A and B are shown apart, each in its own frame.
Chain A
Amino acid sequence: MLDLPEYSSLGAALRAALERWPNEICLIEADRERENCRLTYRQFKEKALPLARTLQDAGLGAGTRAAIIMTNQSKWLISAYAIFYGGGVLVPLDYKLTAREHLQLLAHSKAEFLVVEYHLWRAITQDSSFASLQTKTVIVTEAPANAELCGAKRWEEFRSEREPAFVERQRGDWACIVYSSGTGGRPKGCVMTHENYLEQCQSLASLFPFWPGVRYLSILPTNHAIDFMIGFIGPFICGATVVHLRTLRPEFIREAFTRYHITYITVVPMILKNLERGLRDRFAALPPKKRKVLDRLIGTNRALTRGRPRLWISRLLLRSVHQAFGGELRAMFVGGAFTEPATLQFLYDLGVPVGNGYGLTEAGTVITVNDFKPFRADTVGKALPGTEVRIVNPGEDGVGEVAARGKTIMSHYLDDPEMTAATIVDGWLMTGDLGKLDAGGHLHLLGRKKNMIVTEGGKNVYPEDIENAFDSLNVKEFCVFAANFIWPQRTMTGEQLVFVARVDDAAKDANDLCFQIVERNRQLPDFKRIGGYLLWTRDFPRTASMKIKREALAEEIRAETDRSAMILL
């Protein structure tokens, strides 16, 4: 891998990688069973530099903000490199947001450039607030020949053969603005510096080094902190190969493992759970004799890998399982939400170690990761080298808020000093998660202090962001909470949102209101839906400016009720 302390920016490190491994395969992009492209590091450079030049000609320079809205594909990484090459600040936006949300975040980030896939751009241009778009240069990929582009340029033609100028950036300069939430409410644009990423990458690569020949299957969105680091920056600085699929249908993902002999992949807990379920079903369907043999082999593998993973033994003992994964898989990573220890242990016993990370976008991706030597499924592991973790105000049981400090912690929230001050206190990032450290320094996560939930699909959902779905409901006032915020629980799974409705008479209003809430709830995307509601007959406490005092209200509810008061939907 590159010696990262030598470099002052992501652009400089990536540029060095392209020079260091010119003939290694850098990217493979496949659409179902067809391979769209396969680029060496040299070819990647040849694709990116003409784009960098044209971006510069259009005004991109040091500190210019440029957004990308694309699904995972080669042009995402090529465009990002071209932006870094010209000294730009990358704003990676979630392609799964709605067109309206894209427009909101483009406005909030003040992005002057936008690189976007044609179908996403078409949706943006059809939104009623499209006229408000301030982004001056839009570059659209894969647009059909006669498509109306509403002033945008074609990515494939947006190139110049003149040499671009590499723009130096310092470690403290902004590299990216990454939105961790806030589409419905207050946008949280995490300003990440080059230092944040270079330090994070250095730490992760010291624990999980990649090398030329490693093939990383990138299926989590590249705009997300995890894939940006582990599916782009990490592989590049090690000369490895990133494999992109243009489809996320499970049958093609399975096929990609064997076709491309995948070495590493990162998934969210939901996918890991589906995988576990599928394997358990297959094992259960085996004839009793074969099942017995398999159980013995798993038992032997478990005994032989107790101290550390021994891939060659696992592959030998459990050949058919490993062949289904392509035969070259060394480990999986999981992040974005809490993973059940039983799932991690099940896969480890099959010889598939899972690196279980805990992190936040605000922390530059990962804060802790579990150990492989010996494998620990019961914790999210120790702090990464260079990162400190402490428990703030621990109770008698040692549980308190997890705080992290180090060079990977974001600079601040864009244009929001108030939220920054509440989140980074004396240099410590207050995570809002509850946990404790054991004697060995392993972190155990035990709940959440902040009013939010995280789904198994890795989606952060803030109650405030969904309240507008219940506007004009026939109640005096209402508020949405994470149920665990009102009634704390020592768990990070099965989290629910609860709708609290202020009514005059709980008994009288119940039936009609339930019907209305169910109707409104259906209008929300599945991961944002509330799990239950609570009828409350006293006025909500409010501030002088009439904002609901959420913590005070939660306290009042907690004092008078327990979780059973919530009527489940």
Chain B
Amino acid sequence: MPSLQEVTDEVLQLAAGHFKVPRAELAPGDDFFKKLGIDSLQALALLSRIENHFHIELPDYELQGVTDFRTLAARIHARL
């Protein structure tokens, strides 16, 4: 099983690719809404991509209030 650090890196990589921003500009503690300037619908599209990548299901309601990459990665890690 990948470590939390590895999952976090992969999430940042996926977000950078999905929204076409340089990977180096994203840090684990960043608020993805603010950093990427995205709305909730765009965030849902990213989640679908993350689910496909990790082959898991992340319920929307479980992610209410999650805004930073680190917490998101922890939720993913808990489901791997």
A438 proximity list for chain B (CB < 8 A): none
B37 proximity list for chain A (CB < 8 A): 522, 526
Which residues of chain A from 13 to 48 have any CB-CB distance to chain B below 8 Å in the complex? 31-32
Quick one: which of A249, A274, A457, A524 contacts B48, CB cutoff 8 A?
A249
Q: Is A247 close to B, CB under 8 A? A: yes
Quick one: which of B35, B57, B64 contacts A117, CB cutoff 8 A?
B64
Number of interface residues of B (CB under 8 A): 18
Q: Is A95 close to B, CB under 8 A? A: yes
Does A119 contact B64, Cβ atoms closer than 8 Å? yes
A522 proximity list for chain B (CB < 8 A): 34-35, 37
Quick one: which of A71, A120, A523, A527 contacts B60, CB cutoff 8 A?
A71
A52 to B37, CA, bound (A): 44
Q: Is B33 close to A, CB under 8 A? A: yes
Q: Which partner residue on chain B sits nearest A124 by CB separation?
A: B65
Q: Is B25 close to A, CB under 8 A? A: no
A247 to B39, CA, bound (A): 16
Q: Is B38 close to A, CB under 8 A? A: yes
Q: Is A134 close to B, CB under 8 A? A: no
Q: Say whether, besides A522-B34, A526-B37, A117 and B44 are in contact (CB < 8 Å).
A: no
B2 proximity list for chain A (CB < 8 A): none
B24 to chain A, nearest CB (A): 18
Q: Is A99 close to B, CB under 8 A? A: yes
Q: Which partner residue on chain B sits nearest A526 by CB separation?
A: B39
Which residues of chain B from 41 to 79 have any CB-CB distance to chain A below 8 Å in the complex? 41, 44, 47-48, 57, 59-65
Quick one: which of A98, A119, A457 contacts B61, CB cutoff 8 A?
A119
A522 to B33, CA, bound (A): 9
A526 to B41, CA, bound (A): 12
Q: Is A96 close to B, CB under 8 A? A: yes
A107 proximity list for chain B (CB < 8 A): none
Does B65 contact A246, Cβ atoms closer than 8 Å? no
Does A71 contact B64, Cβ atoms closer than 8 Å? yes
Q: Say whether, besides A119-B65, A526-B39, A527-B39, A246 and B34 are in contact (CB < 8 Å).
A: no
Which residues of chain A from 231 to 276 have any CB-CB distance to chain B below 8 Å in the complex? 246-251, 274
Q: Is A286 close to B, CB under 8 A? A: no
A96 to B60, CA, bound (A): 12
Q: Which partner residue on chain B sits nearest A71 by CB separation?
A: B61
A503 to B56, CA, bound (A): 53
B60 proximity list for chain A (CB < 8 A): 71, 246-249
A123 to B42, CA, bound (A): 23
A34 to chain B, nearest CB (A): 10
Quick one: which of B35, B62, B63, B65 contacts A98, CB cutoff 8 A?
B65
Q: Is A525 close to B, CB under 8 A? A: yes
A526 to B67, CA, bound (A): 13
A98 proximity list for chain B (CB < 8 A): 65
Q: Which partner residue on chain B sits nearest A141 by CB separation?
A: B61
B11 to chain A, nearest CB (A): 18
Does A526 contact B33, Cβ atoms closer than 8 Å? yes
A533 to B39, CA, bound (A): 22
B38 proximity list for chain A (CB < 8 A): 526
Q: Say whether, besides A71-B60, A523-B34, A120 and B65 are in contact (CB < 8 Å).
A: yes
A277 to B33, CA, bound (A): 24
A32 proximity list for chain B (CB < 8 A): 57
Does B39 contact A246, Cβ atoms closer than 8 Å? no
Greatest chain A CB density within 10 A among B34, B57, B59, B61 is at: B61
Which residues of chain A from 484 to 539 have any CB-CB distance to chain B below 8 Å in the complex? 522-527
A211 to B77, CA, bound (A): 46
Q: Say whether, besides A522-B34, A525-B33, A526-B37, A247 and B59 are in contact (CB < 8 Å).
A: yes
A120 to B59, CA, bound (A): 13
A526 proximity list for chain B (CB < 8 A): 33, 37-39
Quick one: which of B44, B64, B65 contacts A249, CB cutoff 8 A?
B44
A98 to B68, CA, bound (A): 13
A317 to chain B, nearest CB (A): 32
Does B61 contact A117, Cβ atoms closer than 8 Å? yes
A342 to B29, CA, bound (A): 43
A457 proximity list for chain B (CB < 8 A): 39
A251 to B62, CA, bound (A): 19
Does A96 contact B64, Cβ atoms closer than 8 Å? yes
B35 proximity list for chain A (CB < 8 A): 522
A246 proximity list for chain B (CB < 8 A): 59-61
Contact with A along B9-43 (1 / 0, CB 8 A): 00000000000000000000000011101110100
A95 proximity list for chain B (CB < 8 A): 64
Greatest chain A CB density within 10 A among B34, B41, B48, B64 is at: B64
Q: List 28 A-B contacts (CB under 8 A).
A: A31-B59, A32-B57, A71-B61, A71-B64, A96-B64, A99-B65, A117-B61, A119-B61, A119-B63, A119-B64, A120-B64, A246-B59, A246-B60, A246-B61, A247-B60, A249-B44, A249-B47, A251-B48, A274-B41, A522-B34, A522-B35, A522-B37, A523-B34, A524-B34, A525-B33, A525-B34, A526-B38, A527-B39
Beyond A31-B59, A525-B33, 19 additional contacts (C-beta under 8 Å) are: A32-B57, A71-B60, A71-B64, A119-B61, A119-B62, A119-B63, A120-B65, A123-B65, A248-B44, A248-B60, A249-B44, A249-B48, A249-B60, A251-B48, A522-B34, A522-B37, A526-B33, A526-B39, A527-B39
Shortest Cβ-Cβ A-B pairs, 4 listed = A123-B65, A71-B61, A247-B60, A526-B39
**Chain A residues in the interface with B (C-beta under 8 A):** 31-32, 71, 73, 95-96, 98-99, 117, 119-120, 123, 246-251, 274, 457, 522-527
**Chain B residues in the interface with A (C-beta under 8 A):** 33-35, 37-39, 41, 44, 47-48, 57, 59-65
